Amino acid sequence: MKLKVLTVSFLIVICAGALLGQGVRSEEEIPSLWQAYAGYFPIGAAVRYQSLRSHGELLEKHFNSITAENEMKFATLQPGEGTFAFFRADEIVDFAKKNNMLVRGHTLVWHRQYPGWLFRDGAGKASAELVLERLETHINTVLPRYKGDVYCWDVVNEAVSDSMSEYLRRDSPWYQATGEAYIAEAFRIAHKADPEAKLFYNDYGATRSDKMEKICVLLEDLLAEGVPVHGMGMQGHWDIFGPTVKQIETAIRRYAALGLEVQITELDISLYHWADKRKAITDPEELAERLAMQAEKYEEVFRVFREYRDVITGVTFWGVADDLPWTDQEPVRGRKDFPLLFAATEHRPKEAFWQIVNF
């Protein structure tokens, strides 16, 4: 048994066997995750600038694709109009090149993490023409810089609404500035800036039937207009309770039927139901049970991914290990989650890891 501090408010006993699955093994006995899937699709991880140092060895061994979690977003790359800050993104790309990894670009257009100047001018609100002009300048600066190094981009991220009463997000500053014109324009500008890059629409909730249909309407309309969309990114922020295998399969088939590549772009499996925002696990037996459920869930979804390897061209985890998951950026009452394949302690493989490599 080991004691692990989960929050400042409570301690929980974690069984090492429950976390690591098959006990402690030497590094030589642990297979490479990406090599296990070399005949299927690339295995990626979202990284932060500091991850290159804190998780470098783990990345080098287990992943052959990386995505910048924040370092390629609009606000990070162009914090001031005409002032670009590339050094963090450059270092991530250099790390990938050194280790023969693919790089996914994330993301050119999103309703969050944008600079404050983007939608303003001297008189207040910027016109649609000015906003689209600024978007073109941004894309025409960023994509040529990484041409040949970044093989695909999440061009537009999360434009479809979660609400049953609306189609696109009306609260998005992009929509408020330009209507829906920004979506097609972003893809057209990106394709012109780098004709070789694969261009993706990326969204969460992509297995939910109501949202999936709206996403498909958007993609169908774009394709009918000749807009260069090449793939659909299913984010995959899932949990041990859902979605079901059937829902995942249905979504993959639906997007692939549009003639698009499908990528799982932001995969993690939470121990908590997304609707259960305030409950924290305090019982070690319950934690062990949920970790076992997580391992089973990972095994199920990867079985589906392997079955659809003819249309799935990449699977990317949204993080590297449990000591730095994105879910901890917005903690709910100090709740700690363990959504990835490698434990926070020494980055040892969890049972979920062994379930997906031993197939």
Which residues are annotated as catalytic? 158, 266
Of 216, 257, 263, the closest CA to residue 40 belongs to 263
Largest CA distance in the chain: 64
For the record, the structure tokens of 233 come out as 């990114």
- Residue 352's H or E segment, with its range, is helix 351-357
Instruction: Return the residue matching tokens 């290990």.
Output: 321
Contact in structure between 35 and 49 (CB atoms under 8 Å): no
**Residue 77 burial (CB count, 10 A):** 21
Q: Which residues contact 70 (CB under 8 A, 6 or more apart)?
A: 48, 76, 113
Please compute, for residue 3, the number of CA atoms within 13 A of its CA located in the half-sphere on the CB side.
Answer: 4
Axis crossing angle, helix 245-256 with helix 209-224, rounded to the nearest 10: 10
b/e map 267-282, b = 16+ CB within 10 Å: bbbbbbeeeeeeebbe
The CA–CA distances, whole Å, from 357 to 33, 63, 220 equal 7, 13, 36
